[in-house]
Structure 1
C-alpha cells in the first residue's frame, strides 16, 4: 500500500469516528493540507462542566507516516503555559513511539485524557489577576474565558453603569435601541450571564487576603521622577493635555506654488531646514508633539 493510500485510509477512519469533530483541508493536488479538531475533556453529557479545551492542528509531510507530523495546539483555553508545554512533550513522545504508524487518533485521545485530568482552569482571573483557589466560585463564558463570579459581576455592573452614563449624554435619536450587551473582558465577544446568580458569589480567597495598598518610599521616588519627566516634556513643547491631543493636525502657515511663475517667490526651506523647523515647532500654529526627549 502506498503512503498516499495509507494516509487516506487513516483520514477516512478519523472522519467516520469523529464526524463533525474533525475537519480536513486538501490542497489543489488532493493531498491533505491541514487536519483540525477542537478537543474537550470527557464529561459525559455535561457540557457545562467542560472548563478547558484546545484545538489540535496537524500538517502531514509527504513522507508521513514514516516521519513525524507537524503538530500545533491553538487557542488553549483554561490552560497555563506549563500545562501546554507538558502536552507538547507528551505529543512529541507519542509521535516518536508511533513512527511509521497512523498517530493522529492517538494524539487526539492523548490530548483528551490530559484535558480531562486538568479540567479546571489553571489561568488567572482576567479581572483581579489572582489565581483560582479551591472553593472559589468561577464562571466560564461561551468563549471559554474564566473569571471569578464575584469579579465578573463587578465588571459587568461597572461597564453597564458607564454605558448608561454615555447613553444619557446622547440625544434621543442617537441612543442605542438594543440596550446594554455584556461582552467578555478578554476577547470582547458577546456573553450571556445570570447577573443575579453572579451577584451572590463571595469574593475570591486571594482577593480577601490581599494586603491593602500602601504608598511605599520607592513608589514616592518613582512619582517624583515622573513629575520631573512631565515638566521636562512640557517645556520641550510636548502636547500633554487631552484637548491638545484631540487636535494633532499640523497646519503649514506658509507655502509656495512652484507652478505660479513668480520668480520672486520664496522657494521655501530645504529639507534639512524644514526638519529643523519641525523640531523647533516653528512655522506651525502650535508646538509640535515632540514626545519624551531623554537627551
Structure 2
C-alpha cells in the first residue's frame, strides 16, 4: 500500500476498532494498516458457554485494497472439520468477487459468523473414543477449545491420575516429597485443565458406542492383517524387531573402560607364543576369573534396566565377608 491511506480503508479500520475493541488486532507499518485479525464466534447472545466453535480470521490488505481483493486466511479452527472449512473458504472467495471495490471485512465477519452459528456443534471425532459427535451426546468444551465426550474425558483423566500415582509410588520417599502434584491436561494440546471428574463420569456413554453394530472381521480387515503380518516378517528377517525369544546377539550390553582394557590385554597376550595365564591369589593358571578373590568382570548380558557393576561401599560378589 502507498503511504496515503485510502479513506475507505481508514473508515473501515476505525469502525472495526470501535465495534470489536480489544477483539481485533490491526497491524500497521508506518501508520498504514497492513492486516486485520480477529477471532470469530457463533452468535449465542450473552451465553458464551454455548459457543462450541470458533476460527481466527486474518485479512491482509493488499496494495490497492479495496479495489483489489485482500488475502483472507482462516487459522486455528476449533470444532470445525475440513469439509466445513472448505465450504466457508469457497463462500469467502465468492464474497470477495461480489464486493470488489468496497470494504469487505464486515461482510466476511458476518458470513463466517452465520456459518459458525449454523454449525455450533463440534464436528469430527472425539479423539479419545474416535466416535463422532451426534445429537444426544453429552460433551465438554475445554478452555483450549477442544471437545470430548464428557464420559470419555472422565475415563481419560481417571486413568491419567492412576498412572501418575503408580509411577509416583515407584520413587524413593524423598523424590515423592518433591514431585509436583497431579495436573489434569488436555489430551490434544496438553494445556492445563480444571474439570470436575465426578460430574463428568455421570454423563452417559457416546450414542454411537451404544448403537454401533457389533464388530465383524471383513475381507478388508483380513487383507490388512495379511499385509501387516508380511511386513512384520520382513522386519524380523532384517533384525529390525526385538521380541521375546530372540536368539540373536543382545541389542545392548553394559561394559566399563576396564573391560575394554582387559579384552585388549588378553588379546595381545594370546598373540604371544610364550604367553602364560596370570596367576592370582596363589591359584594356578586354570583358575577362572569367577573364583573367590579374583577381579570381577563387567556385566555383558542384555540390558535389563539396572547396573551390575560394583558400587563403592558394597561387597563384591564372592568377596570375603
8 A contact 1:183–1:189 mirrored in 2: yes
Match of 2:203 among 201, 204, 208: 201
Alignment-derived partner of residue 235 in structure 2: 233
Q: Using a 3 Å threshold, how does the CA distance of structure 1 residues 231 and 17 change in structure 2: closer, same or farther?
A: closer
Secondary structure in structure 1 of the residue aligned to 2:72? strand
| Shift in Å, 1:58 | 0.6
What's the CA shift string for 1:176-230, capped at 9, x where partnerless?
A: 5442111111111111111111111111111112344455676566556655544
1:162 is displaced (CA, Å) by: 1.1
CA RMSD after TM alignment: 2.9
- Provide the rounded CA distance (Å) in 2 between the counterparts of 1:86 and 1:220: 37
Cα 1:239–1:12 shift into 2, 3 Å: same
Change (3 A) 1:246 1:94: farther
Pair 206,106 (structure 1): closer, same or farther in 2 beyond 3 Å: same
Distance, in Å, in 2 between the alignment partners of 1:75 and 1:13 is: 25
Q: Find the counterpart in structure 2 of residue 153 from structure 1.
A: 154
Give yes or no for contact 2:151–2:201 (8 Å, CA) kept in 1. yes
Hey, what does 1:36 align to over in structure 2? 37
Unaligned stretches of 5+ in structure 2?
245-249, 254-259, 261-299, 302-321
Contact 1:3–1:63 (Cα < 8 Å) also in 2: no
Q: Is the 8 A contact 2:5 2:32 kept in 1?
A: no
Structure-2 separation of matches of 1:8 and 1:58: 15
The answer as to 2:23 corresponding to 1:21 is: yes
Counterpart CA distance in 2 for 1:146 and 1:31 is 39
Match of 1:11 in 2: 13
Corresponding position of 1:168: 169
CA, structure 1 residues 100+225, in 2 after alignment: closer, same or farther (shift >3 Å)?
Answer: closer
Q: 3-state DSSP class of the match of 1:100?
A: coil
Q: Is the 8 A contact 2:123 2:132 kept in 1?
A: yes
* Structure 1 residues 118-197: aligned runs within 5 Å: 118-175=119-176, 177-197=179-199
Displacement after TM superposition at 1:133 (Å): 1.4
Report the TM-score, using the length of structure 2 for normalisation: 0.69
Whole-Å Cα distance in 2 between the matches of residues 44 and 234 of structure 1? 61
| TM-score under structure 1 length normalisation | 0.75
Aligned to 1:62: 63
Relative distance call for 1:179 and 1:83 in structure 2 (3 A) is same
Query: Where does residue 86 of structure 2 map in the other structure?
Result: 85
Shift of 1:104: 0.8
- Going from structure 1 to structure 2, the CA distance change for 1:245 and 1:66 (only over 3 Å counts) comes to farther
Distance 2:221 2:252 in 1: 31
Cα 1:245–1:161 shift into 2, 3 Å: farther
How many pairs are equivalent? 249
CA contact (8 A) 1:239 1:245 kept: no
Contact 1:138 1:149 in 2 (8 A): yes
